[in-house]
Amino acid sequence: MEEISDTREERARTVWKAVNVSARPKSIPAIVYEKEPRLVTGDLELDRVLGGGIVPGSLTLIGGEPGIGKSTLMLQVGMSLKNQRVLYVSGEESESQIKLRAERMPGTGENCFVLAETSTEQIFRQSEELQPHLIIIDSIQTLQSPQLESSPGSIGQVRQTAAEMMKYAKETGIPVFLIGHVTKDGSIAGPKTLEHMVDTVIQFEGEKHMAYRILRTSKNRFGNTSELGIYEMQSTGLRQVNNPSELLIPQRERPISGVVIGSVLEGNRPLKIEIQSLVSVASYGTPQRTSNGYDNRRLQMLLAVLEKRGGYKFGVQDVFLNVAGGIRVEDPAIDLAVAVSLYSSYEDLPIPMDVCFVGEVGLGGEIRAVNRIEARINEAAKLGFKTMYLSRYNLKDGIVNQVKGLEIRAVGALEELFSVLESGD
């Protein structure tokens, strides 16, 4: 047995010595990093989300609800590139349909070439002749590989065609955008491996009946996933929103109870948004709890805190909460604005329009500190707010009480804040 074991070890050593190892392990300091060049689209919002532009040879997947504007955004990008050729492949629309949409958009689109095709073999053949700098596929669920006999949109076809597109992008260095359909729950249709295969996954969010759209990344191998882009849908296409705070705060002639301005961070951008709530006596049995743009479980928690710590009888009240602008907020710093909005509607006490709130609310009714408070304060001052309420624990960072005409008021608990609002000081 020992002789047999020794023979196997010798054979293994001989085999490994004969292997030509092309890649050798390196220490982290020995690795040379070369910053990849990027294709700047000119769309500041999209470039920001991608991390500075499109990386050559990258494969990007963009998904969203039907009619949200995915194809419009990609067609705008294709038409905006003046010195680069773009191959726009459509398996859902004819050339004349794309022409009708393109006529409503700015730009001539001389370098944007449209191909109505679903076969990957034909797409690669046309790409070899055109030699584009960017390929846009609309959509991955319509493509079909001649290597499989299944119908387009099946799990096998989606996986195979995505793999062929990835191989082509890596070999040629041509970046490829894949537009993807979504399921009922909002996830991208097809196998989960589709999201693992691509370099970047972008979600286009928003209500199709609302004006604003949000572009955010859930995966990015060439940048962080904290950036987002904001667009406004118009008759001529999607318009970039450079200062979203001014648009997310609707103009009002007078203060209204239940309407409060809060501060959130979307990616690295501080935004001021309007929180609207309506609290009324439940006249139809079980009280209703409805929220739009805010986590319903978080709303239930805040209602329990207000009832337990403040004595407000929300258990017999209908509560309706809405985040203006049609966006969804996940930043816990909006908790304080939501709590004040509920309190304002409950007491029918209007809050001045030049006051904003930022802070996380704990189960004990305490107001907790939030991150990047300086950016939130500067945004409030830039937009002309006069007073900002925040957690007193944020003052440990050395924030002064007066910033560019903005009065900073620090509070530690909801009861303390409500007392100040009732007194009107």
Binding-site residues, in ranges, read 64-71
Q: How far apart are CA 298 and CA 329, in angstroms?
A: 11
Distances in Å between the Cα of 152 and the Cα atoms of 122, 145, 192, 198 are 15, 8, 17, 19
Q: How far apart are CA 358 and CA 263, in angstroms?
A: 5
Numbered residues of the known binding site for ATP: 64-71
Contact 74, 177 (CB under 8 A): yes
Q: How far apart are CA 163 and CA 404, in angstroms?
A: 54
Residue whose C-alpha is closest to residue 71's, from 58, 55, 85, 90: 90
- In the block, tokens 């337990």 appear at 308
Residues ≥6 apart with Cβ < 8 Å to 257: 344, 345, 347, 348, 349, 350, 351
The H or E element spanning position 15 is: helix 2-18
Is residue 374 exposed (0-12), middle (13-18) or buried (19+ Cβ within 10 Å)? middle
Residue whose C-alpha is closest to residue 293's, from 208, 363, 207, 187: 207
DSSP string, 331-358: -GGGHHHHHHHHHHHHHT-PPPTTEEE-
Instruction: Give strand pairing partners of 265.
Output: 270
10 Å Cβ neighbour count for 16?
9
Here the tokens at position 92 are 């859902």
What amino acid occupies position 152? Answer: P
Residue whose C-alpha is closest to residue 165's, from 153, 175, 155, 150: 175
- In the block, tokens 């960072």 appear at 397
Contact 325, 230 (CB under 8 A): no
Here the tokens at position 406 are 């903005």
Contact 365, 357 (CB under 8 A): no
